[in-house]
Amino acid sequence: MHELSIVSSIVDSVTETLAAYPGARVKEVRLRVGALASVIEDSLQFCYGIAAENTPLAGSALVVKILPVKARCERCARDVEIASLQSFRCPICEEPVSDLRQGRELEIESIEIEDEVEENV
């Protein structure tokens, strides 16, 4: 539901970053999104096209890497991957886990840019 405001933030952040790379064109924006971040990739993609229009990001691709939820299991003394978002239990010992280590990320990892100007030889 709030994907449009999320992609607007992405466009703003990337535009700010581009100030340091005059003349550069954005080819790709790569995100890291936790499975518990409550954003839907399809909606992100749909909104991204709209938000990127008439900005230096127009025509660029949005690549979304979804990160599984990981939590600390005290009994197993290790970080474990939560298989289902309907049950926060260790997949090995079934102990309930509440100390989340991964899964809420909502980050721009990197951007791929292309310089329009020829490099000086």
Partner 1 sequence: MTTRIVELRQGILKKNDELARDLRGQFEAAGVLVLNLVSSPGTGKTAFLERTLRELVKSGSKAAALVGDLETDNDARRLAASGAPVRQINTHGVCHLEAEMIGKHLDGWKLADLDYLFIENVGNLVCPSSYDLGEKIRVALLSVTEGEDKPLKYPTLFNSADAAIITKIDIAEPCGFDRAAALRNINEIRPGIRVFETSAKTGAGMAEWLVYLADKQRRLA
Out of 15, 38, 42, 83, the only residue in the binding site for partner 1 (CB under 8 A) is: 38
Residue 47 phi, psi (nearest 5)? -70, -30
Q: Does residue 15 belong to the site contacting partner 1 (CB under 8 A)?
A: no
- At closest approach, how far in Å is the CB of 107 from partner 1? 6
Given a contact cutoff of 8 angstroms between Cβ atoms, the answer to whether 1 and 42 are in contact is no
- At closest approach, how far in Å is the CB of 61 from partner 1? 13
Out of 9, 59, 63, 101, the only residue in the binding site for partner 1 (CB under 8 A) is: 9
Beta bridge partners of 79: 72
Q: Is the dihedral of CA 17, 54, 30, 46 positive or negative?
A: positive
67 burial level (CB within 10 Å; 0-12, 13-18, 19+): middle
Out of 54, 86, 120, 121, the only residue in the binding site for partner 1 (CB under 8 A) is: 86
Closest CA to 111 of 57, 69, 68: 57
Q: Which stretch binds partner 1 (CB under 8 A): 46-54, 59-67, 72-80, 92-100?
A: 92-100
Q: Where does this chain bind partner 1 (CB under 8 A)? A: 1-2, 5-6, 9-10, 13-14, 17, 21, 27, 31, 36-39, 85-89, 96-98, 100, 104, 106-116, 118-119
